[in-house]
Amino acid sequence: MDRRDFLKALGAGMAGAALLDLFSPKDLFAKEAEGKEFFGVLVDTTRCIGCRSCEVACAEAHGLPVPEVGDESIFRTLRKPSATQWTVVNRYRTEKGDVFVKTQCMHCCQPACVAACLVKAMQKHPEGHVTWAKNCMGCRLCMFSCPFDIPKFEYDSPTPTIQKCNLCWDRYKKGEIPACVEACPQEALLFGPRRDLLEEARARIYQHPDRYYHHIYGEHEVGGTSFLYLSPVPFEQIGFRTDLGTKPYPEYTTGFLYAVPFVFVLWPSILLGMGMATKREEED
């Protein structure tokens, strides 16, 4: 049973129709999206050269340990974002040569992590950014609900919280673009309104049909994401999940995660199980 089926089963068993009506995903995100257009980033993997300038810029912008670049041996293993490194670049060997892929939070249009957070530490801003606040209580429900396995827990911290890419929310409020976008020497990253990014992506595919696989990843997956990707090969060849469907994930999780009375009755067991599951994923 995968995490989507597990959450669907829990939702069916622990929440009634009344709770589903009270806390529907539509209501959860309607106010945030009303009158606003999400911003995002178009990632063109045909332009990325694997320089990892984005990794360095991200670390410097957020006070994280700055990775050493230049050693290509790091591409021998596939890496995931961590609590101390919010974005990573991996190399994939494909039928069209090496493809480098930047990975970070996808900033879903209807994020499961926001729906999962019992204390509203995770927030979806009207501009599209998904951020977290200091009132995180460390339940890790966001980790289990995320279809992209992005939120990471500070296991080694005495006061642990969840960490992940916030699409440079503080920089955005100052009128600046994300640090990774600014640092990219190949213009593989483009920041702007999501609608404009989709138009640009379609134009690139139309103008260079032999260069691109004819799909924009993130346009429809899990209801849409603010990070959008172009690729020269099918996306499963470069590490993307293609089994997620187009249904927003909060529709799978809301029934369970908002059945608050039931959750707190079973809280010790739930927290223990979630902790063991997420810890195993981190170690893997």
Q: Residue 193 phi/psi, 5° resolution?
A: -60, 140
Percent of the chain at pLDDT > 90 equals 67
Please tell me the predicted confidence (pLDDT) of residue 30: 46
What does the pLDDT average to over 28-57? Answer: 84
Residue 282 within any structural domain of the chain: no
Please tell me the predicted confidence (pLDDT) of residue 159: 84
> Is the pLDDT reported for residue 38 higher than 60?
yes
Residue 4 within any structural domain of the chain: yes
Residue 234 within any structural domain of the chain: yes
For residue 22, give both structure tokens: 């009270």
Residue 284 within any structural domain of the chain: no
DSSP code for 277: H
Q: What angle do CA 235, 224, 239 make, to 5 degrees?
A: 20
Q: Residue 276 phi/psi, 5° resolution?
A: -65, -40
Give the separation between CA 282 and CA 154, rounded to whole angstroms.
11
Please tell me the predicted confidence (pLDDT) of residue 135: 87
Residue 239 within any structural domain of the chain: yes
Give the separation between CA 101 and CA 221, rounded to whole angstroms.
18
Please tell me the predicted confidence (pLDDT) of residue 14: 43
Residue 98 within any structural domain of the chain: yes
For residue 192, give both structure tokens: 């702007």
Mean predicted lDDT score pLDDT of the chain: 85
Q: Over the stretch 170-219, which tens digit does the pLDDT of each residue have? A: 999 999 999 999 999 999 999 999 999 999 999 999 999 999 999 999 99
Q: Over the stretch 54-99, which tens digit does the pLDDT of each residue have? A: 999 999 999 999 999 988 999 999 999 999 999 999 999 999 999 9
Residue 184 within any structural domain of the chain: yes
Instruction: Burial-class residue 41 by CB neighbours within 10 Å (0-12, 13-18, 19+).
Output: buried
How are beta strands 162-163 and 152-153 bridged, if at all?
antiparallel
CATH of the domain at 203: 3.30.70.20
Residue 161 within any structural domain of the chain: yes
For residue 80, give both structure tokens: 């995931």
> Is the pLDDT reported for residue 17 higher than 50?
no
Mind giving me the DSSP string for 95-106?
Answer: TTEEEEEEE---
Q: Which domain holds residue 190?
A: 1-275
Total domains, the chain: 1
